[in-house]
Amino acid sequence: MTRLIEVPTQFDDRSFDQFAAAYAQAVDGGGERLLFDAHAAEWASPYGLVGLLAAGEAAARKGERPLLTAPANPDVVSYWARAGFFREAADLFEVHGKVPKVKVAVESEVLLPVTPVRAAEDVHAVVSTIQQRASAILSSELGLDPKATMGFAMALSESCQNIVEHAGTGGWVAVQAYNWRRKLARRVVVIAVADAGVGFRHSLEPTQAKRFGERWGDAAALEAALIQGVSRFRDPGRGQGLAGIRRYLARWEGKVAIRSGTARIAIVPRWDDDVPLKDGLPAFPGSQVLLIIPEQASEKGPGGAGGPSQQ
Amino acid sequence: MVHAVLQQSVAGFYADLVTRPTGRAVRENIERDLPPGSIAVMDFTGVGCLDYSCADEIVAKLVREKVKVLLLRGLTDAHREAIEPVLAGAGLAVLYERPDGALEGLGASEPAPALLDELVERRLAARNPGGSIRLTAA
């Protein structure tokens, strides 16, 4: 028997908890085979795509290789393929449905296709790729100072290193630019990083749990890492990465949100109405990081041209 | 040259100083030829991206554990933006050579004047009439 997990039709950080709830419920059922049903998917953000891979990896670890029904909409499935999703999914899922054989990342909006991160060498490759592809888009389309490109690469590097240093397993990163009509009527660049590893609470528990006492949990662990800059290592220089990401995003009015276990923390910029800290969410393995950097210049008018849109 | 050490320290050709393992490998390579308490110069020319973890692993750890004065040259604004908060957060400082040759402190403000004084006392640097401090021709 298989247990069904529906992939939300609009799959991004907002609908992720709905997906996580379905995942948690299906996993609760025991060792049955899981079927991730994305046939009705109409859109997925990079966060949705890397999150789905993390779920696939966690499911495969628990039992039989999970099934995945690809989106039925040809445009959607084609976009997922171009974004590099199916290249990674093939190793994790038994994929059903028509998946077109297309070249990965041939479009300007896919700054970095879904890319596995397992070791420091992968982070080097990611940083090198993003500098080649992203600098023109960051400065011309987002209106960022060309100097900010390096800061972007630094933020990306630190996000990926969280996987290498803390997850205890591999993960994925994806970077895309798109029109974000929903909140901003501006273009944004989104970095999404996800793993199905041990999560922040488990990583920080040996050094931090006692300090927090009864408050200790996923939310406290995220607060310790992102707000207080603590690390599981006793080395005095540790905890620089997330602090650096925060500085970079504060400068460019960006947003960072991290989900781990049953909690989610966000540094919320003025343009967003997200909640800074949520606890008691459906449990989901590992950690999922979202960085959003919005277009800075307003002279161009809303939207900009090209690229996928999100309502 | 830090860039050259990077090439010796990691597999593949990379111009970026990113990740702690890379930083550790580069620092250990540098430390091999560096007696404790020395005055060292690191040239970042040719280095692309420097992230915070690598800045801590290389620069902050050398200052904390190995050298008396560390002088950085060939820094871009982005390099400085990575190094400055890492050092300042740890109460550490280094010197850096601006493109015009003047030396300035980078990191925590308190230890920087003593570093400049150390170079002047050893006649490795001199105060110019304009007030700036530059390396002497050595």
Q: How does pLDDT run across A183-235, given as a tens digit for each residue?
A: 677 888 999 999 999 999 999 999 889 999 999 999 999 999 999 888 777 77
Contact B50, B82 (CB under 8 A): yes
74-93 of B, contacting A, C-beta below 8 A? 76-78, 81-82, 85-86, 89-90
Task: Sort strands B38-43 and B67-73 into parallel, antiparallel or unpaired.
Answer: parallel
Query: Which amino acid, one-letter code, is at A49?
Result: L
pLDDT of residue A268: 94
Q: Report ipTM (2 d.p.).
A: 0.82
pLDDT of residue A305: 33
Which site among A132, A154, A238, A251 would you substitute to test the B interface, given the most B Cβ atoms closer than 10 Å to its Cβ? Answer: A154
Q: Which residues pair with B69 in a beta bridge?
A: B39
Q: Do B51 and A128 touch (CB under 8 A)?
A: no
Q: Which two tokens stand for residue B95?
A: 């010197």
Q: Do B60 and A164 touch (CB under 8 A)?
A: no
Chain A residues close to B53, C-beta within 8 Å: 157-158, 161, 240-241
- Dist. CA B9–CA B16, nearest whole Å: 12
Chain A residues close to B76, C-beta within 8 Å: 150
pLDDT of residue A130: 86
pLDDT of residue A222: 95
Chain B residues close to A128, C-beta within 8 Å: 14-16, 48
Cα torsion A275, A278, A283, A287: sign? positive
Q: Which residue stretches of A110-183 are H helix?
A: 120-136, 148-162
pLDDT of residue A215: 94
State the DSSP H helix or E strand holding residue B74, giving kind and residue range, or none if neither.
Answer: none
How many residues are given for chain A? Answer: 311
- The least confident of A167-181, B18-32, B48-62 is A167-181
Task: Sort strands B103-107 and B125-127 into parallel, antiparallel or unpaired.
Answer: unpaired
- Dist. CA A29–CA A23, nearest whole Å: 10
Q: Read off the pLDDT of each residue in A143-161 and give the average, rounded to a whole number.
A: 85
Q: Which two tokens stand for residue A287?
A: 């950690």
pLDDT of residue A143: 79
In A163-221, which ranges are E strands? 171-180, 186-195
Name the one residue in this structure whose structure tokens are 């309502």.
Answer: A311
In B15-128, which ranges are E strands? 38-43, 67-73, 93-97, 103-107, 125-127
- Dist. CA A311–CA A235, nearest whole Å: 44
Q: A121 versus A167: which is more confidently predicted?
A: A121
Provide the pLDDT confidence category of residue A142 given band limits of 50, 70 and 90.
Answer: confident
- Dist. CA A127–CA A125, nearest whole Å: 6
pLDDT of residue A197: 93
pLDDT of residue A29: 72
pLDDT of residue A231: 78
pLDDT of residue A149: 79
Query: What is each CA distance from A36 to A4, A42, A260, in whole angstroms?
Result: 6, 15, 21
Name the one residue in this structure whose structure tokens are 């050595």.
Answer: B138
Query: Which amino acid, one-letter code, is at A248?
Result: Y
Q: What are phi and psi of B58, to 5 degrees?
A: -95, -65
Secondary structure class of A67 (helix, strand, coil): strand
Q: Read off the pLDDT of each residue in B115-130 and give the average, rounded to a whole number.
A: 90
149-168 of A, contacting B, C-beta below 8 A? 150-151, 153-154, 157-158, 161, 164-165
For residue A133, pLDDT beyond 90:
no
Task: Sort strands B67-73 and B93-97 into parallel, antiparallel or unpaired.
Answer: parallel
- Dist. CA A45–CA A93, nearest whole Å: 19
Q: Which two tokens stand for residue B60?
A: 């902050």
Q: Which two tokens stand for residue A246?
A: 């925060």
Q: Which two tokens stand for residue A4?
A: 């069904």
For residue B62, pLDDT beyond 70:
yes
Task: Sort strands A309-310 and A94-96 into parallel, antiparallel or unpaired.
Answer: unpaired
Q: Do B22 and A243 touch (CB under 8 A)?
A: no
For residue A18, pLDDT beyond 90:
yes
Tell me the average pLDDT of chain B.
88
pLDDT of residue B2: 67
Chain A residues close to B48, C-beta within 8 Å: 127-128, 131, 150, 153
Contact A295, A177 (CB under 8 A): no
Chain B contact for A206 (CB, 8 A cutoff): no
Give, rounded to a whole angstrom, the gap between the first and last alpha carbons of chain A.
Answer: 37
Q: Read off the pLDDT of each residue in A154-165 and give the average, rounded to a whole number.
A: 88
Tell me the average pLDDT of chain A.
87
Chain A contact for B65 (CB, 8 A cutoff): no
- The least confident of A111-120, A143-152, A213-222, B17-26 is A143-152
pLDDT of residue B97: 94
Chain A contact for B13 (CB, 8 A cutoff): no
Domain architecture of chain A: domains with CATH: 2-99+106-310 (3.30.565.10)
For residue B66, pLDDT beyond 70:
yes
Chain A contact for B135 (CB, 8 A cutoff): no
For residue A293, pLDDT beyond 80:
yes
Contact A89, A53 (CB under 8 A): yes
- Dist. CA A259–CA A254, nearest whole Å: 17
- Calculate how close chain A gets to B1, using CA atoms only, in Å: 19
Q: A239 versus A276: which is more confidently predicted?
A: A276
Provide the pLDDT confidence category of residue A302 given band limits of 50, 70 and 90.
Answer: very low
Q: Which residues pair with A174 in a beta bridge?
A: A192
pTM over 0.90: no
